Structure 1
Amino acid sequence: MRTREEIRRFLAIGPVQVAELDLKPGGDEGEGRHGADLRPGPGSPPVTHGEVFLLVRQAGRPVGTLLTRVPEGTDPRTALAEAARSGFPGITGAARAARVTGDTGAARGAGVGCAPGSGGERAGAVPPFASVVVATRERAGRLARALDSLLAQEHPRFEVVVVDNAPVTSETRKLVEGEYGERVRYVCEPVPGLAVAHN
């Protein structure tokens, strides 16, 4: 019974556009009328009306995500900037309701966190715990550079997991356990394939 309900909900999901919106600091009316740069997801066409899954940034730093809607006949950048400011009131220093239409669906599916120092964190808010999963196979040299970069970032609560996919040698295990000790977790996935490693 539960499985049928999950399948029904999955089949009811319609197409969703994917986009990034970078809000300018203090930019309620910043650059132009919008104070925001809108970019479609990689390989996606320009954003039009309809459902949009939006990555919200401020000055390049991720603030969170939200699922919202661009009403037909509305400028997507304006609609999405309004929805982002409504969903993450602290990022522009001024909380305001979405004013695009009476029902934009703004901030449906609340944002999932704030990047430290982005100006988007609410007083006393704790940033979400993040897991970074790195799937690799026989690339110890490149993996070391990637891990150094990941461990140098400023997010206060995160883990890094290296998934060694169908390894032929023990180089990845030696690198992770020898050089990165308790800061990085090693997992071996014997079944080859990137999807299997990610899962």
Structure 2
Amino acid sequence: MNIKALLKALRLRKFATGLLLLQLSLTIGLMVNTVILTNSAIEKLNKPLGFDVEQLISVDLLPTSGAYRDTNYYQSITKQDIAKITAMDGVISAAYYNQLPIQNGGWNGNVQAADFPDDAVLARELRNIPQFYTSEIGLANLGVEIIEGRAFNTMDDITADFYTPGKRDDIVQNIILTESLAKAVFPDEICSW
């Protein structure tokens, strides 16, 4: 290959050479961007979730009958299903969840401290926080460690009151925050984290 002839052709065709260099720079830029995004995704996937994913199995229960509109029927069938799953060989325990911590979408909302000013802008990490509902053994099934406070107990089950007309507004929920969310909501608090 004659390098001199190639360089002479590139000098004579300046517009084509400019387009070629532009295409080459865009291609290299896209490749670098792809590598950065891939490394970021790998980093997120390798981040520990805080529970033993290898020991968990998810089963979706989807009601298909109109009878499930009755809360008592729905709760009784859910309890029967969980009892049958728990009775299966190899199953240590089973619990219901409205969604899984590692799924996209689902129930979410903004979270802020009770004294958060109305005119202040909510930080990005406090927007669209996933909300999970489970039974008293739900966190134990996931292998979650409670750092401060307590786990749920049977008194924390709000299901009956939630579906009873007139009681929903009077519900006082106990909640458990992740360590990262607690630090974001209460950055100035001194805790044992």
- Alignment TM class, shorter chain as reference: under 0.3
The TM-score, its normalising length taken from structure 1, stands at 0.25
Q: Which has the higher contact order (CA 8 A, sep 6+)?
A: 2
Higher radius of gyration, 1 or 2: 2
The TM-score, its normalising length taken from structure 2, stands at 0.25
